Amino acid sequence: GYKRLRRDHQAALVKLEEGCRQEMEKHKQQLDREYETLLTQFSKELEKLQLKHQEELGKQLKMNINTEKKLIKEVTSSQESERKSFETKMKQEYKLKKERWKKEMEGQDTPKSQRNQALSLHKESLKEMDAQQTEQLQRLQKDQLDYQI
């Protein structure tokens, strides 16, 4: 009896171990399927989030570009009007200085050719000053535009 009982118990034990092994394998397969499902779901959500993020970046970039264009347009038009008024003022000053200088030269007894030569030298120096001031204004405006952008 004892050997038969031991064999029966051993057979039952092997049967139970096999059943447990099969149940463990079944659970493992179920967990693997759930893991794959979650992995797929998360990767789809990640793609959606990345796409949404790219769209938001695109919108932000467009908005920034449009804002920059508006700012450049405003600053440029403002600088253009400033430059025109500056040039008008410079022309008026040039005419006034030229007339004043002509009157000063007429008051002196100098030959006409000498007066004309002195007048042309004076004109050149005034034009050089005007060019320097215009260049300085343009440089200042460019710096302002770069700073604001």
What pTM, to 2 d.p., does this model score?
A: 0.51
Task: Indicate the pLDDT class of residue 8, thresholds 50, 70 and 90.
Answer: very high
Q: In the numeric block, which tokens belong to residue 137? A: 């204004």
CB 95, CB 113: distance < 8 Å: no
How does pLDDT run across 27-85, given as a tens digit for each residue? 999 999 999 999 999 999 999 999 999 999 999 999 999 998 998 898 889 888 988 99
Inform me whether the pLDDT recorded for 147 exceeds 80: no
> How far apart, in whole angstroms, are the C-alpha atoms of residue 126 and residue 147?
31
Question: What separation in angstroms does the CA of 3 have from each of 77, 82, 104, 124?
Answer: 109, 115, 144, 131
Q: Sign (positive/negative) of CA torsion 119, 122, 128, 130? A: negative
Task: Indicate the pLDDT class of residue 102, thresholds 50, 70 and 90.
Answer: confident
102 backbone dihedrals φ, ψ, rounded to 5°: -60, -45
Q: Please calculate the CA angle 139-143-145 and round it to the nearest 5 degrees.
A: 115
Q: Which residue has the higher pLDDT, 2 or 106?
A: 2
CB 75, CB 143: distance < 8 Å: no
